[in-house]
A and B are shown apart, each in its own frame.
Chain A
Amino acid sequence: MIRKLTLTAGVFAAALNASVAFAETELTVYTAVEAEDLKRYAETFNADHPDIKINWVRDSTGVITAKLLAEKNNPQADVVWGLAATSLLLLKTEGMLEPYAPAGVDKLDPKFVDNSNPPTWVGMDAWVAAVCFNTVEGEKLGLPEPKSWKDLTNPVYKGHVVMPNPASSGTGFLDVSSWLQMFGQDEGWKFMDALHENISAYTHSGSKPCKMAAAGETPIGVSFAFRGAKSKAAGAPINIIVPEEGVGWDMEATGIIAGTSKLDAAKTLVDWSITQKANEMYNTGYAVVAMPGVAKPVEHFPENLIEKMIDNDFEFAANNRAAILEEWKKRYDSKSEPKG
């Protein structure tokens, strides 16, 4: 009798365990990946791991970063998947990331992996600055096609350039950080002072300038190459220009938020995020991905883009971010589009 009871209890417990194992785990994932890609990412992931449900919290890089920092003492996210490496470095300085070496991390290009051991974040792909130029509107206004960053300070472009606000947009920040690295502090700010004279608006999001250029609302939008390629594929009359001085870039990266109650599911997600399948998925939009040998050329993507990527100093970008933004706001904030 007693044995029977224990047996029943045992079976019951086993059944309970099984149901726990198959129960859906919900992960809150913060991201800055383009909204139209999120669904595809989640679907591809769920094909392999149907038991983990992803709840996306998406906004532009600056907002997601600020949100994470604001929630420092009460984190709401389990995983960050697809946020600028500069931002993940900031989170690292706050002790907010759980160190974890995902399975297969040695297959990635070491540039795409945090240098702590175990790493606190792993890279996915690189996204690269570019300028979208609307050829139809450019011709109407008699504007020559710009070839370099310095060209953009030419007074003929006055009121015709839109760029993202670095305080809220990751693309905006990598532009500013790359100018300061390429031209040096003094020259960099001087360049931005001159550029500021031509800017008609600083947008909140990094893709908006290119979307505005695609719609002819502005002839020139400082944005990123991937966005430009997409708009061009959608039929917009734009050229994607790679300024000849070199272009800023940042990695999209993944990390686990320390203190998450769903560590196992989070690890599963991060493990998956660096698989070859995941890298192929990133490659649909990004020409450079973390796993060497995976990337295939992306349609409408400018050819010389990869050579033009600057040697980015991420520590400089992360530790000077607050000071750079402070200075930037002091100089140019009045022209910023709301929510900058």
Chain B
Amino acid sequence: MAGNQAVLPAGRAPRLQLDRDALTKRGLMVVIAVYLVAALALPLYAMLSKSFTTYSFDLARYEFQVSDETGGNWSDPVSAKALNDKLNAVAPADLATISDGRLPATSFFPDFSFRSPVKYRIRGVGPTAPYLVGLELFNSNEWKELSGNDFRRVMLRPVQSRSLANYVTYFSTPALFRSIENSLFIATVSTILTVILAFGFAYAVNRSCMPFKPVFRLIAMMPILVPSLLPGIALIYMFGNQGYMKELLLGESIYGPLGIVIGSVFFTFPHALIIISTALSISDQRHYEAAESLRASAWRTFWTVTIPGARYGLISAAFVTFTLVITDFGLPKVIGGQYNVLAVDIYKQVIGQQNFEMGAVVSVVLLIPAVVAFIVDRIVQKKQVALLSARSVPYQPRPDRRFDGFCLVWCGVVAFFIVGVIGTCQFAALAKFWPYDLSMSLNNYAFDRMDGGGWEAYRNSIRLGLLTAVIGTAIIFTGAYMVEKIDGFKTGRGLFQLLAMLPMAVPGLVLGLAYIFFFNNPANPLHFIYGTMTILVICTITHFYTVGHLTALTALKQIDQEFEPVAASLRTPFHRLFARVTVPVCMPAILDISIYMFVNAMTTVSAVVFIYSTKTNLASVAVLNMDDAGDIAPAAAMGMMIFYTNAIARIVHAALSRGVLARTQAWRKR
């Protein structure tokens, strides 16, 4: 070190010395960054390029010859393109097709009759010119001679090319375009309702003295533990044509926007609640004291103090809810009926029709609202932090019978709804043959006799959950540590931070589809992980990376920056500091990340639905597939299995956290 300084000419800024530790840190950060590039950026690029792949009939690739009535005297070879230019038999727009398209060769011969003795010859020009005679495939530059009766069975096949045509088709198909409107409508209405309900709930829990607060908090978090399809299934049993509360709808059908909105409110509620609750809990008692001393009415105080104080939380919650709704497809799939939305379009195009190119186009369209919401959310989040000051005094609610009673009713209604949805699913799962035989039986739990992969799927889900929790937490926490506790290397850290935030802006559906394009390509050296558990783990970790990363960052920021320099000056390698100080201190956050990863791995459908295989069926996907096949009660039963598993995981997490807190966090107590 001394030698180095001696070499430095005077006046130049001192350069940070890179020792082995720093190099290792940078190396680790680069490794995780490479992981994120391979698991996120490259697949997205593959998807984008797929959206430009089109199929069309290339008429210049085929040539014909026609004989006279005697079957001899062949005409000069003429290409299909030349014939079409002359006849205008096929409009240019009709030449664009899908990979499975067929074009009858007789289109170019207006006076064709299969009864005439005239004979025909066809040949390809160039290396690929596929055509069919009946059901036989030909692809050759040799002339093939056919009688009229055989020639009517000749079909040209399309070839692959690249263009913007898919986008043009998408935006000129009214049915597809309507999905955009539908998606925006559903997302907007659900967002408004969820934010109002969640705000009321959060307000009651934070600002009132109503009883049973812990119970309400617990119930409010229940929707996080189930896949988003489950409320859809419950709504069918509640309000479907055989629903027990059907009359409440006054003849309206639950299948459609109504069902999607109610279900969306259910599954987004806890997400909005957490954000708004945080915003309300950090408000400053001094503002209320000031308002009171100025004799402001409660109403005025609410609008001038409470709402402005929570506005960033509200905006943030609104955007999170909006993104969740617009990118969710499980719910509209189950309860959407005839009402098409964007997320479902992708699914329909890809799974239903295997039209991957169009699926990629819709994905790109779906990225736009998600990215906008993400950017706004980031800006708002930054401002939210600035609100807190060291001198803030936490708000202390005072009892008020009327207000507390009102809060109790509000929370009671919401809690009743949540418990009702889950209870309905449980009841339906146990009923023998809804609605004709309601005796209890476990028939619906005989998953091995249904679509979806049976009990094996459930075991796979648990494996996925555990692997994601352990590996994911390790990767995420290490990455966050490197970003937070590294010296210098600003550009690299900035880039890494961007990469780590990106997953939040990418809907699971889009991510899953991108994985097909990227990993199911025989030319990709990583192709071998396609169809394995590995790809599901990678996909799930990447999908939920950002929230874990942010949690880890928050915890790391609480550790004094002095630890690293002190360790360095004591010549303690960073990994020892990391293992002995950082990890134990951050244990609560690490456990939080693990449970978050586990619960989400159990419930997620959107990304994994594209990349699971027969050997890696998952419980959440099984719910979807069983519902698809019409086995709704078994789907509810599997959904409840996920619920119970997650609930148990939560309890274990709570017990562990308590134990860990007692052991490692004693230093926090004074």
Contacts and interface: CB of A to CB of B under 8 A. Distances in A.
Interface of A: 28, 35-36, 39, 55-58, 60, 62-63, 66-67, 69-70, 73-74, 76, 89-90, 92-95, 116, 136-137, 165, 167-168, 200-201, 203-205, 207-212, 215-218, 234-237, 315, 318-323, 326, 329, 333-340
B614 A216 contact: no
Given A62-B353, A338-B329, A319 B338 contact: no
B449 interface: yes
Nearest to A56: B614
Q: Which of B98, B236, B348, B355 has the most CB of A within 10 A?
A: B348
A87 to B, nearest CB: 11
Contacts of A35: 449-452, 629
Given A55-B614, A216-B435, A208 B352 contact: no
Contact of A208 (B134, B348, B630): B630
B175 interface: yes
Given A69-B100, A319-B132, A339-B347, A204 B354 contact: no
Contact of A70 (B101, B356, B433): B356
A336 B339 CA distance: 8
Given A55-B615, A235-B436, A323-B102, A340 B352 contact: yes
Contact of B351 (A63, A201, A235, A337): A63
Given A66-B355, A323-B102, 6 more contacts: A58-B451, A93-B132, A318-B135, A334-B175, A337-B333, A338-B332
A211 B135 CA distance: 35
B352 A204 contact: yes
A334 B614 contact: no
A207 B352 contact: no
Given A203-B630, A217-B241, A322-B98, A95 B137 contact: yes
A334 B101 CA distance: 22
Nearest to B434: A215
B564 interface: no
Contacts of B449: 35-36, 39
Interface in B147-177: 153, 155, 175
A135 B327 CA distance: 40
A62 B352 contact: yes
Interface string B619-647: 00000000011111000000000000000
B488 interface: no
A295 B356 CA distance: 42
Task: List 9 tightest A-B contacts by C-beta distance, closest first.
Answer: A66-B354, A211-B630, A208-B630, A338-B333, A338-B344, A335-B338, A35-B451, A168-B352, A70-B354
B316 interface: no
A204 B628 CA distance: 6
B240 A217 contact: yes
Contacts of A320: 102
Contacts of B255: 200-201
Interface in B175-233: 175, 178
A167 B102 contact: no
Contact of B241 (A63, A165, A168, A216): A216
Contacts of B69: none
A66 B241 contact: no
B85 interface: no
27 contacts: A35-B452, A36-B450, A55-B615, A58-B451, A62-B353, A90-B100, A93-B132, A93-B137, A94-B137, A116-B136, A168-B352, A200-B255, A204-B628, A212-B630, A217-B241, A236-B433, A315-B153, A319-B132, A322-B101, A333-B340, A337-B336, A337-B337, A338-B329, A338-B336, A339-B333, A340-B348, A340-B352
B351 A339 contact: yes
Contact of B347 (A76, A323, A338): A338
B240 A93 contact: no
A333 B333 contact: no
A93 B175 CA distance: 31
A234 B631 CA distance: 13
Contacts of A63: 351-352, 354
Nearest to A141: B241
Interface string B486-516: 0000000000000000000000000000000
A271 to B, nearest CB: 24
A39 B631 contact: no
B304 interface: no
A93 B135 contact: yes
A304 B437 CA distance: 31
B99 interface: yes
Given A66-B353, A93-B132, A339-B333, A322 B348 contact: no
A67 B338 contact: no
Contacts of B531: 76
A333 B175 contact: yes
A51 B174 CA distance: 54
B242 interface: yes
A48 to B, nearest CB: 22
Contacts of A90: 100
A105 to B, nearest CB: 19
B448 interface: yes
Contacts of A329: 175
Contact of A235 (B97, B132, B240, B433): B433
Contacts of B98: 322, 326
Nearest to B138: A95
B522 interface: yes
Interface string B301-339: 000000000000000000000000000010011001110
Interface in B410-443: 433-437
B436 A136 contact: yes
B451 to A, nearest CB: 4
A291 B338 CA distance: 42
Contacts of A205: 628-630
Nearest to B355: A66
Interface in B342-373: 344, 347-348, 351-356
A118 to B, nearest CB: 14
Contact of B631 (A137, A211, A335, A336): A211
A70 B359 CA distance: 13
Contacts of A39: 448-449
B135 A92 contact: yes
A235 B437 contact: yes
A167 B353 contact: yes
Nearest to A223: B630
A95 B240 CA distance: 46
Nearest to A326: B98
A209 B137 CA distance: 36
A319 B135 contact: yes
Contact of B348 (A218, A237, A319, A336): A336
Nearest to A40: B449
A338 B338 CA distance: 8
Nearest to B333: A338
Contacts of A55: 614-615
B350 to A, nearest CB: 9
B329 A234 contact: no
Nearest to A322: B100
A74 to B, nearest CB: 5
B24 to A, nearest CB: 40
Given A56-B614, A63-B354, A334-B175, A339 B132 contact: no
Interface string B5-34: 000000000000000000000000000000
A67 B354 contact: yes
A254 B353 CA distance: 22
Contacts of A203: 628, 630
Contacts of B450: 35-36
A334 B338 contact: yes
Contacts of B338: 200-201, 334-337
Contacts of A60: 628
A90 B101 CA distance: 11
A67 B236 CA distance: 30
A28 B434 CA distance: 36
A74 B522 contact: yes
Given A55-B615, A336-B348, A89 B451 contact: no
